[in-house]
């Protein structure tokens, strides 16, 4: 059932091109219209919405951070994000003009479900992005977007995350075109780039050797830091979570600009830093951050878009992802981070699919 893979996690990493395609294709017709069957939100409903709240846990929360960026950028609605376990306890401003989006692979996470109920009770329109048809969260939401990732067995989430990203892009684009906040031209560009992602992910996955070699050398670190700016920071958080949950190495992700406000104190000779540098408008700033940590002895693995070779001068090693528009890089840049975490865990001999103390679905608060 693992299809020749040693662990489900690797199998699921390799299923991503297919999962992305299956989540995307049924929603986009030949004329580039987005068809979201289980989302009944009309243009009139949207006009009322003055705020979006995205709430989730763990990896799904990280997808929500990218979702925030996409909705603010394409649909021009202010978006707040929160982890579900915090949401209810800060008496959040939610009312009938709020669109609440819960993201949950399992659709059963207790905190996310409780947050959804709270938002609903306050009158919000409630949308769910989930991978499980008929799950509790899907049943209680007004609108549902199903990610067609297929069953995810490994505790560490991979294909669920990338398909959640696709969901958030489609939701954001759909809102943007309905509201007229995105030009037709930009809309088409983003959709065409989305459609090219499965093939690009496929290509990226053909070449895991460099990452495997890096993992074989870097599996003994005590601490790993992930840095990035903008959506690269969000992807860094996901990469860091993947590494810690399956390899048990302490790691943290930080917005690169925040380094000098404290965390840089922990960078010393040999500290591994994974630097995401995929955003064109932030590229030079990231290169400076890379130099900053290297000046303190860090070993830097950078992730950059093909063609951005200046990163080679700044970092020790560069992992390239196929070129795409900046808004969509998370779908690709997370893949090498998943593969890296996987091989570090394998090198450390952990039970990759069933890490200690973790459950696939957290049904207690
Ligand atoms: C990390 C991971 C967890 C889940 C989180 C939410 O790899 O799997 O962080 O993402 O427990 O689970 P769902 O999406 O089922 O609500």
Pocket lining for ligand 1, CB < 6 angstroms: 57-60, 104-106, 109, 112, 155-157, 241, 245, 361-362
Q: What is the mean pLDDT of the chain?
A: 97
Structure-derived torsion over alpha carbons of residues 313, 318, 323, 329, reported in degrees to the nearest 10:
-110
Q: Nearest CA to 51 among 75, 33, 27, 34?
A: 75
b vs e for 116-125, b when ≥16 Cβ sit within 10 Å of the residue's Cβ? Answer: bebbbeeebb
Q: Give 243-277 pLDDT, tens digit per residue.
A: 999 999 999 999 999 999 999 999 999 999 999 99
CA-closest residue to ligand 1 atom 5: 58
Quote the CA–CA distance of 143 and 159 in Å, as a whole number: 22
- The pLDDT of 5-25, averaged and rounded, is 98
Q: Give 131-174 pLDDT, tens digit per residue.
A: 999 999 999 999 999 999 999 999 999 999 999 999 999 999 99
User: What is residue 332's predicted lDDT score, i.e. its pLDDT?
Assistant: 98
User: What is residue 260's predicted lDDT score, i.e. its pLDDT?
Assistant: 94
- Is the pLDDT assigned to residue 360 strictly greater than 90? no
CA-closest residue to ligand 1 atom 3: 58
User: What is residue 215's predicted lDDT score, i.e. its pLDDT?
Assistant: 97
CA of 159 to the centre of ligand 1 (A): 12
Quote the CA–CA distance of 154 and 10 in Å, as a whole number: 9
Confidence of residue 85 (pLDDT cuts 50, 70, 90): very high
**Start-end of H helices in 122-272:** 136-140, 159-179, 184-206, 209-217, 231-247
- The pLDDT of 194-198, averaged and rounded, is 98
User: What is residue 364's predicted lDDT score, i.e. its pLDDT?
Assistant: 82
- Is the pLDDT assigned to residue 361 strictly greater than 90? no
CA of 356 to the centre of ligand 1 (A): 15
Q: Using the atom order of ligand 1, give the atom closest to the CA of residue 137.
A: 16
Q: Give 26-77 pLDDT, tens digit per residue.
A: 999 999 999 998 999 999 999 999 999 999 999 999 999 999 999 999 999 9
Structure-derived torsion over alpha carbons of residues 327, 331, 336, 342, reported in degrees to the nearest 10:
140
């Amino acid at each position: 059932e693992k299809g020749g893979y040693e662990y489900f996690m690797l199998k699921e990493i390799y299923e991503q091109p297919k999962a992305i395609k299956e989540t995307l294709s049924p929603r986009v017709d030949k004329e580039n219209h987005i068809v979201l069957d289980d989302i009944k939100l009309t243009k009139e409903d949207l006009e009322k919405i003055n705020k979006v709240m995205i709430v989730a846990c763990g990896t799904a929360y990280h997808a929500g951070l990218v979702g925030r960026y996409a909705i603010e950028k394409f649909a021009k609605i202010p978006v707040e994000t929160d982890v579900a376990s915090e949401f209810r306890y800060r008496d959040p401003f939610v009312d009938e003009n709020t669109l609440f989006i819960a993201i949950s692979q399992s659709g059963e996470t207790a905190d996310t479900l409780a947050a959804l109920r709270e938002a609903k009770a306050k009158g919000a329109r409630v949308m769910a992005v989930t991978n499980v048809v008929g799950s509790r969260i899907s049943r209680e939401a007004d609108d549902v977007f199903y990610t067609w990732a297929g069953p995810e067995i490994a505790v560490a989430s991979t294909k669920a995350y990338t398909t959640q990203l696709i969901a958030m892009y489609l939701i954001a684009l759909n809102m943007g075109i309905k509201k007229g906040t995105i030009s037709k031209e930009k809309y088409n560009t983003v959709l065409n780039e989305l459609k090219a992602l499965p093939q690009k992910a496929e290509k990226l996955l053909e070449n895991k050797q460099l990452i495997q070699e890096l993992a074989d050398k870097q599996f003994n670190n005590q601490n790993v830091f992930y840095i990035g700016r903008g959506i690269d920071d969000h992807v860094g958080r996901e990469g860091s979570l993947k590494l810690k949950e399956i390899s048990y190495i302490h790691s943290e992700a930080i917005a690169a600009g925040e380094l000098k406000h404290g965390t840089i104190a922990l960078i010393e000779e040999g500290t591994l830093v994974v630097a995401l540098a995929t955003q064109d408008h932030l590229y030079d700033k990231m290169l400076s951050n890379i130099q900053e940590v290297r000046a303190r002895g860090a070993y830097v693995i950078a992730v950059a878009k093909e063609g951005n070779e200046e990163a080679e001068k700044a970092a020790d090693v560069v992992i390239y992802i196929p070129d795409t528009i900046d808004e969509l890089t998370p779908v690709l840049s997370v893949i090498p981070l998943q593969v890296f975490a996987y091989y570090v865990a394998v090198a450390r001999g952990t039970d990759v699919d069933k890490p200690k103390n973790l459950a696939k679905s957290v049904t207690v608060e």
